[in-house]
Every structure is written in C-alpha cells, then in structure tokens.
Structure 1
Amino acid sequence: MAGAPRAEAAPAKAGRPDGATATGGGLIRIAASRLDEMMDRVGELIIAEARLAEIAAGSGLPALVSVTEDIQRLATGMRDAAMSIRMTPLSSITGRFRRLVHDLAAQIGKPIDLVILGEETELDKTVVEQLAEPLMHLIRNAADHGLEEPATRLAHGKPAAGRLTLAARHSGTEVVIELSDDGRGLDAARIRAKAIEVGLLSRHAEIEQADLFRLILAPGFSTAERLTELSGRGVGMDVVRRTVTDLRGRLDLSSEPGQGTRVTLRLPLTLAIIDGLLVEVGGERFIIPLGAVEEIVELPDKAGEDRTSRLIDIRGRLVPYLFLREILATQGEPGPYQKVVVVTAGDSRLGLVVDRIIGSNQTVIKQLSALHSGLGALSGATILGDGSVALILDVTGLASPEWHPTLSEDHPKEVFA
C-alpha cells in the first residue's frame, strides 16, 4: 500500500533499555549479549527437539511423528538464521591491521607492504573479536623479527619493501588464517641456544625442527637482544597460542631460512552448534563434526589384524587410519562390520575406525571442564535426545602425528601432507 509506514526503518528512541538502536536503511543494532542469549535458547531448543524426536520415534503415532518433523524443520531454520546473524566477515578487523602496518613501517624504518586476501571470509563474531589482538601481535612480531632492513634485503636480491600476507579461507568446518612474511625466517640455532639457556631443552637433546620452532610459543620465551616497544618483554606468542587454544583452534609454524615464516591458525566456524555424525565405538557414542566427514567405507577384513600397516587404499590413494577404540580406551567388543569414517583436517585426510554409524545429529557444543580441556582427541560434549552425553571428537587433534606418536612411527609424515 502506498504511503504505508515501514517498521524496520522506524527511528529508535534514545537510551532504549534493551540496547537496540535502529540505524536506518532497514538495519538495526542489537547488543551482543542479546545475540548470545538467543543462541543459548536456540541450543536448548535443538536439545528439546532431539528429545521429542526420540519420543516420537518410539511412540508409533503418525500424527506425533508428523508434528515432530515440522518442529525439526523449524528448529533447523531457526538455528541457521541465528548462526548467520552471528557471522562476521574478517574485514571488520582488517582496517586496524593496515593502520598498524603503516605506523610500524614509520616506527622501525622498514617499508612494508601488507596484502590481505579473503577479507570476505566469515567467522563467528566471538572468534573474530578474540582474534584481533593475537593477529596484531603476529604482525608486530613479523615486522620486527622477520623482515630484514632494506639494505640487507637488497643485498640478498629481495625488494627493499618487506611483504606481509594475511590470507583467510574456509576449509571444511574450519577457517584457516595464514600470516606469512618474506623475511629472514626463524633462526633455529638461536632458538635452540635460548631454549637451553632458559632450561626448556637440554644441551645434547635431539629435536625435530618443527618442534624446535614451537618452543617460541612457550611462556616468557623471547630471542630479542634488547627490550623495545615491540618485543623483548617476554610475553606474546604464548598468549597467541592460548587464545587460539581457547577458541578450540590450532596454531602451526613453518619457516625457511632466507625465505620467511608462515603462521597458520585453524579455527572452527562457530563455537555454538554444528551438524555431527553420531557413531558408536565400544558401546559408547561419539560425535564427529559432519563438515569434516568426506566419506564412509567398509574396513577391509584383514585390516584389524595388521597392527603395523595402518593404511587403507581408497580409489588408488593411501589414507592412514586410527582405531578409535584404542585411542579412547573403550571396553566393548568391536562390531562385525566396522566402518572407516574418512575425515579431512586442513590439508590432511585420516580414517577413523568406528563400530557403527548411527546417523546425523544436530550438535549443541558444551565446553569441557578445565580438567578435560587439554585432551587432544576431544573438543567438547553434547546432550543427546535420550538425555545422555556424547563426546565430540577433535578431528584436527586426531590428525596430528605429534598427538599420536605410534601413527607417526608407523607412517612417514608425508602421508599426512
């Protein structure tokens, strides 16, 4: 109707107690606490809907089953809408990185080019907010420690201006954020000497280069020769690692002498609700994030007897696999037809052997207690429709050779690449 008022564009009253203000153009600003409360309520709705589905399946009443299916559809739509509201593009925080690099270049006398790729990549707002400070520290670290002076770069055939690249992309159920530089790279000898000096490493210890580089994540570890406004204060990388861990993410380091350093952050898309694959292992039920599941195949008959070769041929490609009953120390007997759930974690593929596939499940993630938060195989828990608790498996942790040493002994690390 012509001239009808538009509710969404109505001006807001100043000082509204609910924290919401209309900004015009069909947009409305809502307090973050209200979004968090809505997400909590949606999570409880999903759990209640799962309970109703269990009751309906056991009742045999067609009318109840039909209503339950309608409620499931509506709850799924509510979940997707609530999650989309919470998603925020990385571009919401990248502006401050450009200002930071501009100021750093003037402060330390090094010309720096910052390239940002994938700014449109969306993450949960909580993840984006908590990532700002760690990423700013990584940029400061790369500018101060990683990039050489212009004269040194020219002498080595590099452009005078150092290059920092911040790239973000989706990878399954994760968001991968990489910060790389084209500087001098990490000095393995210097890191080793500092680790010996502070007691993190014995003088004659043998250590892989990747593990040596990870020592810079230890609390208070710093190779800076002098204290400046940017470095040498004994804090920083350990705070970055702790923040990423608290977000159920993972931090990886790689470096080549003279070529630069790459820091990779792998983070979950959301911290609230995911689609999960419900499986049974040793009579107990577990959740595998469905977004990480690539395919499900039968475990070959002889595979369970061979404890030395843990590789399965899937269409001409060898995929390493793990028996979850061994890792999780379950007590029940294995089923007669075990399945291999092939999952992806970053650029790796891994098979997880389970006894039975139960089906898909909307999973409301509940955080583990502080006592269990350090378990590399688990990322949380959820409440099933019958009221029981199922643990959520951490696919990234299970794919890590460092977490499961027998896997790295049985197979070369190239298998995971």
Structure 2
Amino acid sequence: MKPLRIGLAGLGTVGVGVIRLLRENAETITARAGRPIEVVAVTARSKSKDRGVDLSATRWHDDAVSVAQDPEIDVVVELIGGSEGPARDMVETALTRGLPVVTANKALVALHGSALTRLSAENNAPLLFEAAVAGGIPAIKLVREGLAADRLHSVGGILNGTCNYILTEMRTTGRDFGDVLTEAQAKGYAEAEPSTDVDGWDTAHKLAILAGIAFQPIAFDTLPVHGIRDVTAADLTFANELGYRIKLLGMARASKDSGIEAWVRPCLVPAKAAIAAVEGVFNAVTTQGPFSGPITISGRGAGEGPTASAVVADLIDLARGADLPVWGVRNTPAPVACTSLGELKSAFYIRLDVEDRSGVMADLTSVLRDHDVSVHFVSQHDAAAGRAYLALVTHQAPEKAISAAITALSALPVVKGAPLVLKIEDSLQ
C-alpha cells in the first residue's frame, strides 16, 4: 500500500506528538486509514534541537513554504501557529497547489477562513482543522458531521483550558486572579504573555469557527470579547452562594429575525448544569438543536496527546478519501456581522464595591429603578474597613439598560472602583 506522505511544519509539543502517535500506533492507524501515514518532510526553527524523536530519515526544509512545495508529499500539516507569516504562506501555497491541508491553527481559520475556503474550493484541496477547537474533543466533527441534519439553535461552551483552570483554582482556594495566573504559568498551563487566553481571544477564535460551521461564517471584528481579568475571588464566592459557577463562555445563537448572536464573556451558569462540572484545564462544547436536543461533550482542550490525536484523525479522514467542505456546505455564504447585544434580555449579576453606611442601598436602587432594572436578590460581604461588596442579581432586562445603569452607578460617590457585570446564562441546563 502506498503511504500517505506528510509534510509537517512545526516541531513543538504538538508536532512531535503527531510523529510519536503515527509511529507508536502505526498498525492501528494503517488499519483504520486503509494505508500507512508517514511524515516524510519537516521544518522548524532549529534543525539541531533534540526533540526526542528520530528525524534522520526525514527530509529537512529550511522554511514552511518549501515544505508545501515539496513534490513528494501528499498532505501538508501546519502546526506553526499565528494568523500571518509562515503559517498563512504555507497553507495558501499548499491549497494553491491542490494539496490537502491539516492545521491546528484556530487564529488562521477564524481570521482568514473565507479566503482559505475559496482556495480550497478552486483547487479541490480539502482543509481540515479538527485540532483547532478544543484539542482532543471532536467538536468540529460533532457540529459539521454528527449534527449535519439538524438546524442548531446554539453552539459554544468552555473553549479555553487556561481560563477554566484559573477560575476553578480561584473558586476552590479563594486566591486572587494574579496569584493563580502566576501558578498557571509555572505549571505550563498559561503562556508567559497570557493575554490571548485570559482576555478571551483564544476562545473567540474557536467560537468563530464553531459558529461558521453551525450557522455561517461571522465577521470576526464584530464579535464582542471580554476576558476574566476583572473576576475576583469574592465574585466566585457570591456565585457559589447563589447556586452558580463562573465560567468563561463563548456562545453563538441563531434566530430568523436577528441573525447570529455571538459573544465571549465570563458568565454565571447554574451549578446543576453539565457544563458547570467541567473543571481545571478541561474544555466543553455544548449544542442545542430542535431534533438533536442538548448535547455537551468535554475533555482536555490542549496538550501533546489530545491535539495530536485530533490532527491524526484528520489525516485518517484524508487517507480514507474524505472531501468535506470547509464550513460543511458547498456554497459558503459571505461572513456576516454579529448582531448587536443591546436588545438581548437576560438576568445579570452586578458586583459593587460601596461605602458601608446607611442610605447606600436607597441610592443604588434609585438608579436601577430609573433605568428600568429590577433587582431580584442582594447579598453583602464585608470588604475593607468602612466598605462592603454588594452582589445584585437582576430580573430579565435588556443589556443596553444594564449598561446605562452601570454608567450611572459608577458616577455615584458611594461606589468605589469599577462595577463588574456578568451575564447569567440560565439556558445551559
């Protein structure tokens, strides 16, 4: 049997994991793919670095584009990362040549999906990216293949293990964000420059991909994104008392009237919801459809093993002759802007740092009343001397009313520091 010959760029954790997996499970993979799968050409930043795998029989290229131009490969695997530069050049070169591409690069697909889709279609070159979303969880296969017959109402979930780990540790230990972030960096769960994770952009890239498959591609620059830096240990304590967990969610929903509603933000989810039990570095993807009903799948969202497993699953599909459209449909519609969230109605959690004296609640409720925001529940915790933390849970209200009320509350002399507002996502059961 003629092997499927792979040209691979990027010999970091995942790249080395792919090579190890292909070698250690060669017999099983060959049986399932119908032919052997072998890495025959590679490139990385350093040729001399010891990566713990034997590359002596593998052709070395000086750059990623030259791998894509290698006449003796059948598939390109891009594991460099980044939405521009060598990764994009490599993928575009391969697709233009008519070579199938497998990538784990969520930023590339989220930001340049439309252009890559055109190249894929024009040159009959499949582009597969299971590893780009939620590591070893088959999120793309679930939405694009397993639920292909259903018109989904919603898709999303916990899509970043770093943030989920930080929030879990803050809740269980009572430590603040900065302390837990430092620990996550020491353990290798967070990068030295963590903004992509903790500010929500990693989640946003993955959500854009899921929304593109479930509904249609979205214009990434219209996706509202907010991370977890403002969440405190006090917020997690309040949420626990209220019967909720705080999770960084990326969610997208479709409606006939308002288009695609999508956002990334920390939310309160009911403690009894399946997704609330997803802790630590684990991810979860949840969907809701009229025929399929609610589905939640979870697992490790990153790391050598899970991500390499997803990459090789795509390679097995190609070896079997799979030819899946990038977004799951043959004629991909143009990207659309996400709808404004101003009219979105929800209950909200509001945390305020206020002066601890009589009359404060009257001042706060007066402002909320003036903006048609009704309060369902109030809880107080002591803060510093003469100060208190107030947690307010509102009834359903439009987001624009909450935003206006927060602006007015922030102007009150009794309110110290910036209030925190979190959406309560009661729809996840």
TM-score range relative to shorter protein:
under 0.3
Q: Which of 1 and 2 has greater Rg?
A: 1
Give the TM-score normalised by the residue count of structure 1.
Answer: 0.28
Structure showing greater relative contact order (alpha-carbon pairs closer than 8 Å, 6 or more residues apart): 2
More strand per residue: 1
